[in-house]
């Protein structure tokens, strides 16, 4: 079974430029998560989707970040414009559902460096 796929794996951009990350969850997983992980820290949730609906985006900085999950499968996370402080790893995860026994499966992440 293929795991969670993310691309690109690495991205270097200059500040004020836009950037987008793509995630393909495990087939059949209805719930999709985007996390931000700074160096030496644990992941922090940015947004959670149930199918195509964003059910929790309270931690997403909406002035510059946006996300979409068309057709309830793949998802894209965008930053525009990027700032120096956005340099981090962006992780995507998926699960069958958001329930007590569910396990989240993580992708390898996209490592972003903003210069």
Partner 1 sequence: KQEVTQIPAALSVPEGENLVLNCSFTDSAIYNLQWFRQDPGKGLTSLLLIQSSQREQTSGRLNASLDKSSGRSTLYIAASQPGDSATYLCAVRLDGGSQGNLIFGKGTKLSVKP
Where on the chain is the footprint of partner 1 (CB under 8 A)? 4, 31, 33, 40-45, 48, 56, 91, 93, 95, 98-109, 111
CB of 52 to partner 1, least distance (A): 16
Measured from the CB atom, is 79 or 93 closer to partner 1?
Answer: 93
Measured from the CB atom, is 63 or 100 closer to partner 1?
Answer: 100
Token representation of residue 112:
């972003």
Measured from the CB atom, is 28 or 42 closer to partner 1?
Answer: 42
- List all residues 6 or more positions away from 82 whose beta carbon is below 8 Å from its beta carbon: 13, 15, 16, 17, 18, 19, 64, 112, 114
Distance (Å, whole) CA 18 – CA 28: 31
CB of 16 to partner 1, least distance (A): 27
């Amino acid at each position: 079974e293929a795991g969670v796929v993310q691309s690109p794996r690495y991205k270097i951009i200059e500040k004020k430029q836009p950037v987008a990350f793509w995630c393909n969850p495990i087939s059949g997983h209805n719930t999709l998560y985007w996390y931000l992980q700074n160096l030496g820290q644990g992941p922090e949730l940015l947004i959670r989707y149930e199918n195509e609906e964003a059910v929790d985006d309270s931690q997403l900085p909406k002035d510059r970040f946006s996300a979409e999950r068309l057709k309830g499968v793949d998802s894209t996370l965008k930053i525009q414009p990027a700032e120096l402080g956005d340099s981090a790893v962006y992780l995507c995860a998926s699960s069958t559902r958001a329930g007590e026994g569910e396990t989240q499966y993580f992708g390898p992440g996209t490592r972003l460096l903003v210069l």
